[in-house]
Structure 1
Amino acid sequence: MRVLRRTLGTFGTFLGVLGVLSGSVSCTAAHGDDARPGDDPPAALAPFERLLPAPASARADGPGYAVGPGTVIHTGPGPDEDVRQVGELLAEQLRGPSGLPLPVVDGPGGDGIRLRIDEEAEGVGDEGYRLESGPGGITLTARTPAGLFHAGQTLRQLLPVAGPGTVPGGTVTDRPRFAYRGAMVDIARHFFTVEQVKRYVDQLAQYKVNTLHVHLTDDQGWRLAVDSWPRLAEYGGGSEVGGGPGGYWTKDEYRELVAYAGRRYVDVVPEIDMPGHVNAALASYAELNCDGKVRERYTGIKVGFSSLCVGKERTYEFIDQVLGELAELTPGRYLHLGGDEAHSTPAADYAAFMDRAQAVVGRYGKTVVAWHQLATAQPAAGAVLQYWGHDRTPAAEKAAVVAAAKAGHPLILSPADRLYLDMKYGLATKPGQVWAGLVPVKRAYSWNPGAYLAGVPESAVLGVEAALWTETIATRGDWELMAFPRVLGLAELGWSPAASHDWASYSRRLGAQGPRLQAQDISYYRAPDVPWQ
């Protein structure tokens, strides 16, 4: 999914996009300045007009509510622990910027911020909400705690970046366009700690992204402890691109991440890539190789050279034990099997292997997700395909994906020339790659997931996901620079109604997020065609 590509030649691909794409020409952190001398500062937007993602409906009406020292968060009359947890987290998120105490109390309460579950609430769906603000307080209403959480994230944007403030009077009624709004991070090429990934969860959840896909294994490293195969992490985790020390997560650390994300209504989707991208496993255990000999650890960035031994029964004992332990750790419904770039696995072997691997996922009560190459084999009933192709993907490959969608397999769209966050913004971007082309902020946003693949109706699209591969990314600063602000476009594409998608409007709302990103110490690329405030 990532370097199809490199066989085309990086230089040739790079030249091919220069005449087509207009990208930014500088790579600047949040405190850079793209303004020219004499430019007027961008006009400030009204609070409802700067919300990102854009809500389904927002109407200003009358005076608002001043959030101040006496403001209380009321979590409703019943002993609903989930609602109480939403209230506590919202208070935590608001206290730092506002400097207010914001106590959380049970009961319907009076003035203040009121959290309310109404299972019959109209126009909001399972994840949506209604936010009503007036002089007597703010009421957040949703059918589910997840909806209340998203309402709280909207409330955060209606308050100042720092200090107390007044939430304008009016009503926001909102719900997501797509059920799956995801971001993927690759901790296999370069290792990142759970703490760094938790930071990303917080950054994503405030913009209503609800899925974190973690690429846990690849040729360069195995990043999760497995009790039944301990050398996978202990030895296979000891390398990374460029020859660094690597690392891995313990099971307790993984559980901690899953729980942390869950409290923010973000599901974790773990990926164990197979039958290719497995050199770290082949270097850890000789018995996984057809010739019984261990491989050397790998620190480069080539793809497609490794494969599990499809003809060995020990291979299937391996995947059963690994996926079984992973399923036990993961409360969410999905396990991702990878399945791309298995160039060293003959097509018939690939199909046979994926049949058995998918059956293992089913036995553990999970739903298969795999990269779209699974369409060339036989996707299991209900399997979800993740499409990472791009404008130059061969028609036959696209046709297989379209046929799978028509057969009932939901699609997650991650087009590499739109949503691969490791693609450079422009010529001067220091980290990143170019095999899918330059991906400036406008290009990442300006497409319609519901009509992206000809022949695939919007109803077949489960959602969208922005992928951050880390061959060239080894630090938090580079991670955030490549993700932000493009991941905010992903958030809007996944949440907001199609009719609201407009670059002129979006770029102004994106520019209004600049102070918020800076206040959270998020490094981001100041695209010159965005009117940053």
Structure 2
Amino acid sequence: MIPQPVSVRPAEGAFALGAETPLDAPAELGGVASWLRTTLRCPLPPGGGGVSLRVDRALVPEAYELSCASGRLRITGGSAAGVFYGGQTLRQLLPPAALRRAGPTGWLVPAGTVTDRPRFGWRGVMLDVARHFMPVPDVLRFVDLAAFHKLNVLHLHLTDDQGWRLEVPGWPRLTDVGAWRAESMLGARQHARYDGRPHGGFYTADDLREIVAYAGERHVRVVPEVDMPGHMQAAVAAYPELGNGFAGGVRTGWGISSHVLNLGERSLEFCRAVLDQLCELFPSELIGIGGDECPRDEWAGEDRQPAFTALMAAHLAARGRRIYGWDEILEGGAPAGAVVAAWRGKSPTTVAARRGHQVVACPDIAAYLDYRQSDDPGEPTPVGTRLTLADVYAFSAVPEGLSPAERELVLGGQANVWTEHMETARQVDYMTYPRLSAFAEAVWDPPGRSYESFETRLPAHLERLDALGVNYRPPSGPRPWDARPDAPGNPRELPDRLAELAEMTKRLDPAEMTKGVDSPKPV
């Protein structure tokens, strides 16, 4: 099973699960029971003597126990989420054919007891729908696959220089203009190739409500992000008065635009309206405001971002929400209550925790799934440093050198799927799996986990991914049709990237960093 459970105790015999097997569940588990019937393609009529679902508050909320004998199958969780994870484990105990949408039903569940609980409360994945728009059905499928791996947070990156993906009342040009670009780059920006094809799309308010509801049924929290005050060229293209004299269109090239918000009163009004809409659509306590990679060129070099971040944090606080921002918000002092997504290597996780902020570790050198998977020339658009399956599995959310209190501030980890070079869900599959399977086990983090054990279990898991229709990258390497000779990449070496990260984070206090924290450990 992946993630590997904390404890598995096999027993003799098996439980026969079929269409007539009764299912007994209290009202509070009605949602889990409905999901289980649908996903197993079995009616499971109400009644006792078969499958039973229960909540035991003595367990931690996401913990569960699955107990199976020849005459019964019981799943007990510390909450509905725990019972749901027990249901996902049940799916992995069945043959891969049980994961398909058609075919025979009725299977034998091997007897035994599985006792399990995650180490971290934040087991996330970020999906960038700004660089390449992903239709709602593809987002729902992405959620299903994440939930299958017991991930519980979807960080939805909704806007960037290259596209704006949500409606905001009173600001119609955001989607009339900002959601569409004239063309897209083919490959890494250094090659300056373009495809000549318009691209775009956006989500209506009802679309986003559907995504939130669907994810909620699978115990996945959706944390939205609208990047501000940088990464805003799409918004400025729609409303030039928000910018600093820019009168061009939505950015067609990858990389960082220097065209940012002017932070005048009209811009602040705009940002508050955007955050209000996010609060209306997303129940998450955390609302992402980005805050990364904001050039100061148009502000005459003045750093106006810390004051802006404080204003947005205060606005959200008045609505009972908190900001979630990339680790650049630490520069100049992040507002109290801010949660930090630490991406520029490993040291910002240490800095955030030592400043008393809750933090989610997502260092690019360990958790960016757009980075190339090998040195094979057949890898599609190879960018970034090499990030193999073993490298991802080696991810550890908590840096060395933190005190016990500081370690408690590390909420967990998150893998990031940036889609500059992923135009379709099929390409997202290839770059994401099975690396996200490895990451899911790293953030579930059962005691004694090892890559050797993961490798042993992976072939059976790939059969499950086959049944689910996932276009994963084979462990043997890319297939001939995976290559993208029309979209060349820009591979980097790790020492070069570490040097860049050291330069990028020099505005953070070196005294707060653990010496050598950015030095990766061998797998």
| TM-score (ref. length: structure 2) | 0.83
Matched, 1:73 2:16: no
Cα deviations by residue, 1:346-365 (Å, 9 ceiling, x for unpaired)? 46311111111222221222
Aligned to 1:386: 341
Call closer, same or farther: CA 1:223–1:406 in 2, change over 3 Å: same
Greater shift, 143-152 or 214-223, is seen at 143-152
C-alpha displacement of 1:241:
3.0
Matches within 5 A, 1:270-289: 270-289=224-243
C-alpha displacement of 1:304:
4.4
Contact 1:73 1:114 (8 Å CA) reproduced = yes
Cα deviations by residue, 1:113-172 (Å, 9 ceiling, x for unpaired)? 11112223xxx4111111110011110111211111111000000111125332222211
Match of 1:511 among 449, 454, 459: 459
Aligned to 2:490: none
| Matching residue's letter, 1:228 | G
**Cα separation, 1, equivalents of 2:51 and 2:361:** 37
C-alpha displacement of 1:453:
7.3
Matched, 1:88 2:43: no
Q: Secondary structure at the match of 1:83?
A: helix
Q: Secondary structure at the match of 1:173?
A: strand
Match of 1:166 among 82, 86, 108: 108
The size of the alignment, in residue pairs, is 454
Match of 1:527 among 475, 480, 496: 475
Aligned to 2:511: none
| Matching residue's letter, 2:52 | R
Aligned to 2:304: 349
C-alpha displacement of 1:420:
0.6
Match of 2:251 among 298, 302, 309: 298
Call closer, same or farther: CA 1:170–1:504 in 2, change over 3 Å: same
C-alpha displacement of 1:496:
2.8
Matched, 1:103 2:41: no
**Cα separation, 1, equivalents of 2:160 and 2:68:** 49
Q: Secondary structure at the match of 2:287?
A: strand
Cα deviations by residue, 1:381-410 (Å, 9 ceiling, x for unpaired)? 22111111237xxxxxx3x65333122211
Match of 1:175 among 111, 117, 130: 117
Matches within 5 A, 1:451-466: 451=399, 457-466=406-415
Greater shift, 452-461 or 505-514, is seen at 452-461
Call closer, same or farther: CA 1:524–1:419 in 2, change over 3 Å: same
Matched, 1:269 2:223: yes
Matched, 1:157 2:89: no
Aligned to 2:172: 230
Aligned to 1:20: none
Q: Secondary structure at the match of 1:380?
A: coil
Contact 2:395 2:439 (8 Å CA) reproduced = no
Cα deviations by residue, 1:511-533 (Å, 9 ceiling, x for unpaired)? 2201111011100011239xxxx
C-alpha displacement of 1:72:
2.2
Contact 2:373 2:379 (8 Å CA) reproduced = no
Greater shift, 54-63 or 132-141, is seen at 54-63
Cα deviations by residue, 1:191-225 (Å, 9 ceiling, x for unpaired)? 11111110000011011000111110000100001
Contact 2:233 2:257 (8 Å CA) reproduced = no
Call closer, same or farther: CA 1:261–1:64 in 2, change over 3 Å: same
Match of 2:81 among 137, 143, 146: 146
| TM-score (ref. length: structure 1) | 0.81
Call closer, same or farther: CA 1:57–1:347 in 2, change over 3 Å: farther
RMSD, aligned CA: 2.0
Matches within 5 A, 1:41-440: 51-76=1-26, 80=27, 82-95=28-41, 101-105=42-46, 109-110=48-49, 112-120=50-58, 124-162=59-97, 164-239=106-181, 241-242=184-185, 243-291=197-245, 294-310=247-263, 312-344=264-296, 346=301, 348-390=303-345, 398=347, 401-427=349-375, 428-435=377-384, 437-440=385-388
| Matching residue's letter, 2:242 | L
Cα deviations by residue, 1:448-500 (Å, 9 ceiling, x for unpaired)? 22236767953221011111101111011111000000111121111132x33
**Cα separation, 2, equivalents of 1:211 and 1:254:** 15
Match of 1:472 among 406, 414, 421: 421
C-alpha displacement of 1:447:
3.1
**Cα separation, 2, equivalents of 1:188 and 1:453:** 37
Match of 1:501 among 449, 454, 458: 449
Q: Secondary structure at the match of 2:96?
A: coil
**Cα separation, 2, equivalents of 1:177 and 1:93:** 26
Gapped regions of structure 1 (runs ≥ 5): 1-50, 96-100, 392-397
Gapped regions of structure 2 (runs ≥ 5): 98-104, 186-196, 478-523
**Cα separation, 1, equivalents of 2:123 and 2:45:** 30
**Cα separation, 2, equivalents of 1:452 and 1:226:** 43
Q: Secondary structure at the match of 1:348?
A: coil
**Cα separation, 2, equivalents of 1:308 and 1:266:** 32
Q: Secondary structure at the match of 2:260?
A: coil
Q: Secondary structure at the match of 1:505?
A: helix
**Cα separation, 2, equivalents of 1:244 and 1:236:** 12
Contact 1:433 1:472 (8 Å CA) reproduced = no
Call closer, same or farther: CA 1:184–1:429 in 2, change over 3 Å: farther
**Cα separation, 1, equivalents of 2:381 and 2:222:** 25
